[in-house]
Amino acid sequence: MSGEAYRRRLRALLRLAGIRKRDELSVFEMAFVHQSYAKERGGSSNDRMEFLGDSVLGCITAGWLFEQFSDESEGLLTLRKAAIVNDAQLARTARRLRFSELALLGTGMRAAGGSDNTSVLADAFEAFVGALYLSYGLEKARAFVVKYHVEQLDHSADALLDAKTRLQHYAQEHLAATPVYRETSRGTPQRPAFHSRVTVKGKLLGKGHGPSKKTAQQAAAEAALLSLTPASDEGLPRAVGT
């Protein structure tokens, strides 16, 4: 995309954010500069802007959830927040808003399909939010995030029913670690039976069993969530089919 076409596309994105006239675009262009591009061309990447945007996004999301789900516990709000700000969801919104057309990538990264890479797109989304905050303040950033990201997601209880996903979000948010699953099979081809154990940082948190590896892991994750979340979180959705 040529320089002027790129700027037109960037201005179109800014109009979605309620910015009608913007001549100086450098802060927003920076939001799309990947490390690979910065290394090839010299200059800075969007890393610092991403760092800022991550915090702004977290603040906006927490505030929205606090207002919208006024009766829910801290534990469930934490799970909801993680489901909103995880890379997969951010990248999904970035694809919908055509961030891939704006991503500035190194030659190798672009050839490898980096413009559709989940991490690249999620980082660019966070950096763009950071640029909005720097240039126009929290309210503009909040309006954009809520309208084009948060309100586009499914916030029903069903959306939180996958126990493995919930456990992963909880473990990353509170324990800075990823759950590890180990399975054994003790059944027969006619009647398969799997047993799963899930650990975090080497500590066994849950066990489960089922007729497939997937259902055994879900059961183990559910058991782990019960051991991790406070007893007051009685409204926490439970996984089904385990």
Residue positions annotated with a catalytic role: 54, 126
For 6, other C-beta atoms within 10 Å of its C-beta total 16
DSSP 212: S
DSSP bridge partners of 182: 197
Rounded to an integer, what distance in angstroms lies between the CA atom of residue 25 and that of residue 48? 17
- Spatial neighbors of 235 by CB under 8 A, at least 6 apart, are 72, 73, 76
Phi and psi dihedrals of 19, rounded to 5?
Answer: -100, 105
Going by C-alpha positions, the residue among 117, 50, 109 that lies closest to residue 85 is 50
